[in-house]
Amino acid sequence: MDKKTIKDIDVKGKKVFVRVDYNVPFDENQNITNDTRMVRTLPTINYLLDNGAAVILACHIGRPSEAREPQFSTKHLVAHLSELLGKEVKWASDCVGAEAEKAAADLKAGEVLLLENLRYHKAEKKNDPEFAKQLASLADVAVDDAFGVSHRGHASNAGIAQYVEVVAGFLMEKEINYIGKTLEAPQHPFVAIIGGAKVSDKIGVINNMIEKVDKIIIGGGMAHTFDAAKGLPIGDSLCEPDKYDLARELLKKAEEKGVEVILPVDLVIADKFAADANTQTVDVDKVPEGWQALDSGVKTSEKYVEALKGAKTVVWNGPMGVFEFDAFANGTLAVAQAVAKATDEGAVSIVGGGDSVAALKKTGLTDKISHVSTGGGATLEFLEGKEMPGIAAIADK
């Protein structure tokens, strides 16, 4: 998967269209509450500016309806982005049409223009060729640095490639290299940790991982579906009865491939889903009626830590429990510490998916991981081995 990057092109004196993923969270006063996605694009933008380009940024925020809902305007990004870049960012009140065209035409080398929300136009998600052509007409070359939308074939990241060459920004390059190349030729032992609430969300990932890994740790809410499928009592724990057959199939497939599956042996259970619930730790086959499992127990954490010893490649997607409540965050913390330790001892570690990234942030170990992915759904689909329209559109070397 050798894709062209911004290092492979000459941008001096050129207008560069950059698709970024600035779909950031805001509070009720339109203040940005987490700017990680913006910060991660700064190396790309600064490189382009330093090399004499005029930079035109395009992104979407939220899911606007027919009306141009003002809370989704990219105008709310301008002040903070100007601060991050240390220069005034210009803004256009549309992403195509006369005003956008004039703003782009007037833009000089070293200047930055942010376009209005792409999704104010239905044509963006429809990958409308005319809309893609209008976006392309604003610039001489396009850069895709929006890994978070690369699983979507939209006009700004896929359709645009019909009209202008698209190359990868540094953030996109990092995602492709870490996730793509690591999965193509992983170092062994390779351990996957798959958590989160539902088996249905992660079927593709588990299926793909069984083909590649030596061990797979299954935790979080989805583990109860596997336990119930094996006939264990799970009380009121989260479960998907319509996935029992699938769970058995996945376990059988793992066995046939010689992949060790590690499921919880003990659980922290609660009498209600709340931070102040009464709790106790029980063996996995002793969950009483009326109680629900919300985290893995100490013995399980020890098994997870043991499984990660000596690992050379680790992929982690999804928490081990309801980490948002401190009482049920210990299983996730134990995994985070073990992954950080494995990384310190030479493993390549990739953490991806919204919840895993939030859980990792809570443990304070983010900088101890080789690569923390910026994608939610995109990371999942990449881990599943699916074709990604946004990546396919980037020019090959």
Would you kindly state where each structural domain of the chain is located, as residue ranges?
6-173, 186-384
3-class SS of residue 236: coil
> Rounded CA gap, 220 and 292, in Å?
12
**3-state per-residue secondary structure call for 193-222:** EECCCCHHHHHHHHHHHHCCCCEEEECCCH
Give residue for tokens 């290299």: 177
Backbone angles phi, psi at 349, to 5 degrees: -120, 135
Domains 6-173 and 186-384 share a fold: yes
Q: What is the pLDDT of residue 322?
A: 93
State the catalytic residue, choosing from 3, 15, 19, 37: 37
> What is the per-residue pLDDT across 173-209, written as a single tens digit (0 to 9) for each?
999 988 888 888 899 999 999 999 888 888 889 999 9
Give the integer Cα–Cα distance in Å for 112 and 89.
Answer: 5
Pairing relationship of beta strands 141-144 and 15-19 according to DSSP bridges = parallel
Average pLDDT, integer, range 373-378: 82
Nearest to 118 by CA among 56, 172, 166: 56
Q: Is 153 among the residues known to form the active site?
A: no
Catalytic residue among 198, 312, 341, 362: 198
Which is nearest to 357 in space by CA: 316, 309, 385?
A: 316
The percent of residues above 90 in pLDDT, for the chain, comes to 82
Kindly name the residue from 159, 220, 331, 354 that is annotated as catalytic. Answer: 354
d(CA 169, CA 142): 10
Mean pLDDT of 357-381: 86
97 classed as catalytic: no
Q: 64-82 burial, b if ≥16 CB within 10 A, otherwise e?
A: beeeeeeebbbebbbebbb
Predicted confidence at residue 5, as pLDDT, reads 96
Residues 130, 189: Cα–Cα separation, whole Å: 49
**pLDDT per residue as tens digits for the range 72-115:** 999 999 999 999 999 999 999 999 999 999 999 999 999 999 99
Map residue 386 onto helix, strand or coil: coil
The pLDDT value recorded for residue 184 is 87
For 223, which DSSP code?
H
**Residue ranges at the known binding site:** 21-23, 37, 60-63, 119, 152, 202, 324, 353-356
Q: What does the mean pLDDT of the chain come to?
A: 94
Tokens 């070397």 belong to which residue? 397
Q: With the CA atoms of 206, 341, 280 and 282 taken in that order, what torsion angle do they form, in degrees rounded to the nearest 10?
A: 60
Contact 312, 189 (CB under 8 A): yes
Eight-state DSSP code of residue 32? B
Say how far apart CA 151 and CA 13 lie, in whole Å.
32
Q: Structure pTM?
A: 0.85
| pLDDT at residue number 293 | 96
pLDDT value for 354: 67
**How much is the pLDDT for 124?**
96
SS (H, E, C) 343-355: HHCCCEEEECCHH
CA gap 393, 162 in Å, rounded = 9
Q: Report pLDDT digits (tens) over 1-59.
A: 689 999 999 999 999 999 999 999 888 888 898 898 999 999 999 999 999 999 999 99
Q: Could you give the CA distance from residue 57 to residue 142 in angstroms, rounded to a whole number? A: 10
| Least trusted range by pLDDT, from 176-190, 214-228, 235-249 | 176-190
Q: Is 156 helix (H, G, I), strand (E, B) or coil?
A: coil
Q: Is the dihedral of CA 128, 156, 374, 326 positive or negative?
A: negative
In words, the CATH class of domain 186-384 is alpha beta
**Whole-angstrom Cα distance, residue 201 to residue 317?**
11
CATH 3.30.70.1350 fits 6-173, yes or no: no
pLDDT greater than 80 at residue 338: yes
- The pLDDT of residue 1 is 63
pLDDT for the residue 319: 92
Which helix (H) or strand (E) element contains residue 191?
A: strand 190-194
Q: Sign of the CA dihedral 186, 189, 194, 195? A: negative
Q: Are 314 and 350 in contact (CB under 8 A)?
A: yes
The active-site residue, picked from 110, 180, 376, 377, is 377
pLDDT greater than 90 at residue 172: yes
Does the annotation mark 174 as catalytic?
no
Q: How many residues does the chain have?
A: 397
- What are the phi and psi torsion angles at 287 (to 5°)? -75, 115
pLDDT at residue 260, as a whole number = 97
Residue pLDDT, tens place only, 106-126 = 999 999 999 999 999 999 999
**In whole angstroms, how far apart are CA 91 and each of 42, 64, 67, 115, 172?**
18, 19, 20, 6, 24
DSSP of 274-330, one letter per residue? Answer: STT--EEEEETT-PPTT-EEEEE-HHHHHHHHHHHTT-SEEEEES-SS-TTSGGG-H
